[in-house]
Structure 1
Amino acid sequence: MVMEIDSSTPNGDDGVNKINGHDHDGDRRHMAIIEPHSELPKPEAPAGLFALPPSPSSSPPSGNYSFKFGKFIRERSNNFSAAIVKKLNSLDDARAEAEPEPAGSTVIKPDEVTQFNISGLKVVVKLKSHGEEGDEKIKGRISFFSRSNCRDCTAVRRFFKQRGLKFVEINVDVFPPREKELIRRTGSSQVPRVFLNDKLFGGLVALNSLRNSGTFDERFREMLGRKCSGDAPAPPLYGFDDDDEEEESMDEMLLSVKLLRQRLPIQDRLIKLKIVKNCFSGSEMVDVLTHHFKCDRMKAVEIGKQLSRKHFIHHVFGENEFEDENHFYRFLEHEPYIRKCYNFRVATNDTAPKPAVFVGQRLNKIMSAILEAYASDDRRHVDYAAISKSEEFRRYVNLASDLQRVNLFELSPDEKLAFFLNLYNAMVIHAIIRVGHPEGVIDRKSFFSDFQYVVGGYPYSLSTIKNGILRNNRRDTYSLAKPFGSGDKRLELCPLKVNPLIHFGLCNGTRSSPTVRFFSAQGVEAELRSASREFFQSGGMEVNLEKRTVYLTRIIKWFNVDFGQEKEILKWSINYLDATKAGLLTHLLDDGGPVNIIYQSYDWSMNS
């Protein structure tokens, strides 16, 4: 086959050469050669593909001496001219480097090109950061032990992130058995403790001293220049529960529950002109217990009351605890609301309920660890996608199942306040991950009402927690009915007085809501005041002295019954403003003139 190059560009196709060839049958075929992009390096042509023009040195010799002499003069002249031009160009380059560029001019240097576009392809030039260049020399592993809500641990975490260093964090509040390892390796449970491979480096003081000495990068690369050995602290693994974590004990009433689940005639019945699904009568349950345990009916009734207190069974209308009559009951797993509860999986949690104080503290620690790892330092931006894939969140979901039959009535007022604040904020994160962020009014109504947990044997939605518990059974905005009806057991958990600061401790996952946080039972009141102060100083209230106008968050308009009259709200808010805003607002209120209040627009977009 004979090949020839056709350098013409027919049809106006620039940058395309054609190789013309003849096959053995004499047919003419074409193969296009696409020229590389002008900003990409030019590849060299394969040897022999293009015929080089004959060089002057290869021309046939001539006997004409004058021709050779003229050629010599021309070559020397060309070389001399090229040298002069090269020198002038070098002077221009030096002058350009010495003189600043005129204002408004744009000069693109080769190393400043960050991207260029090719048809169907986008090429991005990204220079390696200081941390990425160091990663090539770091073969070991940085590990550090931490706790939730620890300032020194936060400083260590921020230090590593700012330097672009990859690290493994082992939070002993999330992984309690790892605290034993910490004590074994360091001799104490103090945190933070940083390990470089298997060697203990120290804590925050050691990091600061090394940074101040100016030899941090050199020392770290030297200590992490070899691969990590098997003696280093192991990173937490996803999906594996702790082997040495104490085993959960089954409830002492479980034997009776299993018996009743097998023997009772569970069926749908017509009660008070309503069809009640999956229920049984009290007398049927007493019959089963007396027959199996060989006890009298009074003893069987007492067993039934214990099962009701532990939320294994409930009266279908919530009328009584348990009686040996024609009353009807059903198991917790058969309640109509149970399928909407996202902390219920297949079956109820039959283990002995943990103390509510312990569950609340554990919830606070795990969710705080999640924020420290997957939210910005100011908590205004949350990485929900990363949270959904994390081991911390998997453990939180497991912990949420412990809420099913927990006894909330044993909590003190401050413990209940912190518990429900934390539960609300945790459920919002869970809801965004499971059902997504609501886009419109209808979606928001479903988001706050339909996403539920079963807690202490009763269903709780986000709206129920906020309006039913924390607001002492007050109507939601634009709602006609209260969350709880008369006789609802959950009314006993409501506070005696509504604390208006709760509105600045609840985050609903939007940009205009307060930042997400979790509270401790010991300092919940002070922490709520701090949250309120942060919210008002971050744009929750603005004061325009010239227009005599105060711009207030729309949250206060929606829940004005919790705050009082508008002038009372302004006086009350002075305690949570910075000195400048407080002075301006005080001046407006004291000079006797009118004060205009405008409520800010609410941004419902997600805080991701």
Structure 2
Amino acid sequence: MKIALKIVAITIFAATVYSCTLLSAAGVSSQGQPTKQVEGTLTSTTANSAVNIDHSAWTTLLKKHVDQKGMVDYKGFQQDEIKLDAYLDMLASKDPDTDWSVQELLAFYINLYNAQTVKLIVENYPTKSIKDLDGPWTKGRARVGNRNLSLGGLENGILRKMNEPRIHFAINCASISCPKLLDEAYTASKINEQLEQVTKEFINGDKNDISANEAELSSIFKFYPDDWKVDGKVNITGYINQYSTTKLNPKANLTYKNYNWGLNEQ
């Protein structure tokens, strides 16, 4: 009996350790990266940071290989893989710390997520879906300093902790139902305006069907139910009404669309 109990205890312990490891890789922890919370209204500025990163190389690639609908020419990115690698190497050479402003950190992590996602597809192209790949969000693939961060960690352990839910409309998971990939890099000098743009475009675009009394929403709103806050309280309807051209009634019926994980390829 004692042996059986020990086996059960060991099994539970091993499962717990495995689960914690998996959750950490998927993004529960910040993976040793600094995070800062947006306090009040985010402003766009480069004046309050010890470091200002030049993301122009990423903008050049995006302008060349992403159309106005946010669809991506992955074959074109393959031909420019050397330039993509050079940009990722530049990001890897940086070591964010608390002397970086919240604006610089947001831009850095969003661009790192998007560029590494494109790199993941390029490495495995052709593919029908990012979900067909091995551990797309749990494997450490985004190099920063001496660490390899996971995409899940970047999203859940870092960006979601920065008190800026508009990041959900800025990061792109290479899928049809994702918010579109912006055709320019995020920068501290434009971060608020860029986040405002992509949020308005997403909420008022074809990923949501909104009328006064009901809305069929993107599953993004279902995936992260606690992120949509107004005055510190979770309020999906209120959050959407801040950006939607069609206002929802407070008791409007909300349902969610199926998520299309097909590749966002031109």
Normalised by the size of structure 1, how large is the TM-score? 0.33
Q: 2:117, 2:150 → 1: CA distance?
A: 10
2:120 to 411, 431, 454: 431
Count residues with an aligned counterpart: 211
Q: 1:510, 1:460 → 2: CA distance?
A: 21
Q: 2:134, 2:79 → 1: CA distance?
A: 27
Q: 2:94, 2:141 → 1: CA distance?
A: 16
1:438–1:447: 8 Å Cα contact kept in structure 2?
A: no
2:77–2:84: 8 Å Cα contact kept in structure 1?
A: no
1:419 aligns with 2:115: no
1:385 to 71, 75, 86: 75
2:209–2:215: 8 Å Cα contact kept in structure 1?
A: yes
> Which fold has the larger relative contact order, with Cα–Cα distance below 8 Å and residues 6 or more apart in sequence?
2
- Indicate the residue corresponding to 1:461 in structure 2: 150
Aligned in 2, Cα 1:567/1:399: closer, same or farther, shift over 3 Å? closer
Q: 1:439, 1:523 → 2: CA distance?
A: 31
Q: 1:542, 1:532 → 2: CA distance?
A: 15
1:521 to 188, 195, 214: 188
Shift of 1:431: 0.6
1:535 aligns with 2:202: yes
1:401 aligns with 2:89: yes
Aligned in 2, Cα 1:440/1:499: closer, same or farther, shift over 3 Å? closer
- Indicate the residue corresponding to 1:478 in structure 2: none
Aligned in 2, Cα 1:544/1:573: closer, same or farther, shift over 3 Å? closer
- 1:558 counterpart letter in structure 2: F
1:600 aligns with 2:265: no
- Indicate the residue corresponding to 2:235 in structure 1: 568
Q: 2:115, 2:92 → 1: CA distance?
A: 15
Unpaired segments ≥5 residues, structure 2: 1-48
Normalised by the size of structure 2, how large is the TM-score? 0.71
Aligned in 2, Cα 1:386/1:549: closer, same or farther, shift over 3 Å? same
Aligned in 2, Cα 1:522/1:366: closer, same or farther, shift over 3 Å? same
Task: Say which SS state the counterpart of residue 452 (structure 1) adopts.
Answer: strand
Task: Say which SS state the counterpart of residue 471 (structure 1) adopts.
Answer: helix
Task: Say which SS state the counterpart of residue 466 (structure 1) adopts.
Answer: helix
Aligned in 2, Cα 1:371/1:440: closer, same or farther, shift over 3 Å? closer
- Indicate the residue corresponding to 2:176 in structure 1: 511
1:452 to 134, 137, 141: 141
- 2:204 counterpart letter in structure 1: Q
Q: 1:569, 1:416 → 2: CA distance?
A: 26
Shift of 1:440: 7.6
Task: Say which SS state the counterpart of residue 235 (structure 2) adopts.
Answer: helix
Unpaired segments ≥5 residues, structure 1: 1-354, 473-494
RMSD: 2.5
1:356–1:408: 8 Å Cα contact kept in structure 2?
A: no
- Indicate the residue corresponding to 1:313 in structure 2: none
Aligned in 2, Cα 1:567/1:463: closer, same or farther, shift over 3 Å? closer
Shift of 1:433: 0.2
Q: Percent identity?
A: 24
Q: 2:82, 2:152 → 1: CA distance?
A: 25
Aligned in 2, Cα 1:575/1:544: closer, same or farther, shift over 3 Å? closer
Aligned pairs (5 A) from 1:39-188:
none
- 1:595 counterpart letter in structure 2: A
- Indicate the residue corresponding to 1:501 in structure 2: 166
Shift of 1:567: 7.7
Shift of 1:513: 0.5
1:418–1:520: 8 Å Cα contact kept in structure 2?
A: yes
Aligned in 2, Cα 1:444/1:552: closer, same or farther, shift over 3 Å? farther
- 2:67 counterpart letter in structure 1: S
Deviations 1:78-122 (A, max 9, x none): xxxxxxxxxxxxxxxxxxxxxxxxxxxxxxxxxxxxxxxxxxxxx
Aligned in 2, Cα 1:465/1:597: closer, same or farther, shift over 3 Å? same
The structure with the largest alpha-carbon Rg is 1
Q: Which has the higher strand share?
A: 1
1:404–1:454: 8 Å Cα contact kept in structure 2?
A: yes
